[in-house]
Chain A
Amino acid sequence: MSAFPLTRLLDNASTIFLALLAAFAIAIPVLNLLVPAGSGLHVSTYLVALFGKYICYAMLALSIDLIWGYAGILSLGHGAFFALGGYAMGMYLMRQIGARGVYANPILPDFMVFLNWQELPLYWYGFNHFAYAALMIVLVPGLVAFVFGWFAFRSRVTGVYLSIITQAMTYALMLGFFRNNFGFGGNNGLTDFKDILGFNVQAEGTRNALLVVSCLALALSFLICRTIVTSKFGKVLVAIRDAEARTRFLGYRVEAYKLFVFTLSACMAGVAGALYVPQVGIINPGEFAPANSIEAVIWVAVGGRGTLTGAVLGAFVVNYAKTFFTSGWLAPYWLFVLGGLFVAVTLLLPRGIVGTFEWWHERRAEKKITALPASAPHAAE
């Protein structure tokens, strides 16, 4: 491989984004750990956890943008993959509690003791090892997406039909995880985590480390997405998005392309969910709620679908607005704002923030080109 892929990979926007992300990943821990609490520059531990959460959301947005923005697959169930990754991480964290639980059972998590279970279900085995849990974090969402996608894409379920059945999928999973006998803690989910890889999850140092790891994961996901969308594979995806039948007549196996990108995107969402859980300290079936998945879609729409930086920006902007609105007297109005955002973005800003900016930028560049003389005469004139 020559140096060519790197320049292809990192256009101006990507370089700026990665630099900002790196600065963020360094600055926040420094401002939290090294700057004294009294200083105006100090970043509280609460904010560190909040930013960590945003970074995970940004990863989820990225995964949605990859399939929606580039392949035209609108998944209204991507929260399911996020939650599956989260549960895999939650299972690891539960096993780490060991005998420190309320019932002090060295093997069984508290909720199982409470339900009078005598032994650990088979599918909980292995989750005491981090490596195994890490594998499952990627594998389980990936496998669910693969099986779902294999059925859906092979039989050419597209457009809104696909959106609706992805929503039904996450709804079915939610109903399942709410049940106690599924063995994932029912209503309450998994919580009361103690430590991760031997570090206390509540400790400041751990929180900062988790933030940095999340930033790294986001940067890596971003680079993976960039690699994909700038390759010929990415061109095929856009072709599928814009004219699926035409792409098929060109001889491309549309379902294989969709399946690959859908599965990859689900794995990415799973990792995001896994990083999210130790930072918020809980995972419960509510994460599967169809509303969550749709909300994640609007982040992408606000930022600009089909632009990777837009997805990240959208996740930050909408979630910051949510934090701002839901933490004060404005709380009852948040749903009006969110609802209004859905309507306004689709009606007034269909390209999103970054998309509109790029479009405007390109228009200006194009005007410059057409202003030049000797533009080729029309072949047929």
Chain B
Amino acid sequence: MEPKTTSALLYLDAITVSFDGFKALNELSFVIEPREMRAIIGPNGAGKTTMMDVITGKTRPDSGDVFFEQGSYDLSKLDETEIAELGIGRKFQKPTVFDMHSVEDNLLLALKNDRSVRATLIWENTSSQQNRIHEILDTIRLKNMRSRVAGSLSHGQKQWLEIGMLLAQGPKLLLVDEPVAGMTDAETLQTAELLKDINRDRTVIVVEHDMAFVRELGVKVTCLHEGSVLAEGTIDQVSTNDRVVEVYLGR
């Protein structure tokens, strides 16, 4: 692994990914500093999901570098499991929780722990694990749902459960894909609070279409278009940028 000197937690340089000639990412570059929260916006097909896929190892970039933790890990050489073990957690666009498991078991599975076959076979429930699950249930406001089957939760509750699972993993970096899609206004506000809460001790990347929500977060915004960065800055700077208005926000 080639050493890279950068202070950034996540460092993307000239990433290109193409599917059958179509360039989903085109020389995409940006950096995320530790403890930062970053909002990513952009029209459909701008490459937001592909960018997440590259960071989490689901898709391998055709060219370019992805480094994690001040350049000490080259993510393009690791697979999903290894990347998850490094401390990068991802919440998918569509909430994917384990429908057949209870809320509690969902968190248990996500809890930072030995993930080996042997460890799970001889696993025993401990009180420290229980306490941690309680804490998270509190944070995500699902305390009363703990033994409900996750499949029976409402859409918003599933989103929170998934954020809870991310927290249980204790990751350094959270990738959150459209957390408020399909939520009511009240739920949206609560989710923004939740994310700000989490951001106190973790780095967060949020991909979102909802501009009110992004404004609520009040963080630095990156706008993607056709697989590369179109504009970067505060929400006010970005939303008044002529090209952003043209391709994304509309007249």
Contacts and interface: CB of A to CB of B under 8 A. Distances in A.
Interface of A: 1, 4, 228, 231-233, 235-236, 238-239, 242-243, 245-254, 256-257, 260, 375-376, 378-381
B154 to A, nearest CB: 7
Main secondary structure of the interface of B (DSSP, over half): helix
A232 B101 contact: no
- Identify which of A4, A254, A378 gathers the most chain B CB atoms within 10 Å of its CB: A378
A163 B238 CA distance: 51
Contact of A250 (B143, B144, B165): B165
A260 B165 CA distance: 25
A250 B109 contact: yes
A238 B100 contact: yes
A239 B98 CA distance: 6
A232 B98 contact: no
B101 A239 contact: yes
Interface in B203-237: none
A235 B89 contact: no
- List the 4 shortest-distance A-B pairs measured between CB atoms, nearest first: A376-B144, A251-B84, A379-B141, A232-B123
Given A236-B109, A250-B109, A251-B84, A242 B117 contact: no
Contacts of B13: none
Given A231-B120, A236-B109, A380-B184, A246 B84 contact: no
B108 interface: yes
Given A235-B109, A236-B120, A376 B90 contact: no
Contact of A235 (B92, B101, B115): B101
B123 A251 contact: no
B43 interface: no
A233 B121 contact: yes
A260 B117 contact: yes
Contacts of A236: 109, 120
A233 B120 contact: yes
A248 B57 CA distance: 11
A203 to B, nearest CB: 41
B85 A249 contact: no
Contacts of B143: 376
Contacts of A253: 81, 115-117
- Identify which of B56, B100, B109, B141 gathers the most chain A CB atoms within 10 Å of its CB: B109
Given A235-B101, A253-B81, A379-B160, 18 more contacts: A4-B124, A228-B121, A232-B120, A232-B121, A233-B117, A236-B109, A238-B98, A238-B101, A242-B98, A245-B96, A246-B97, A249-B56, A249-B84, A251-B115, A251-B169, A252-B115, A376-B143, A380-B187
Contacts of B96: 243, 245-246
Contacts of B7: none
B31 interface: no
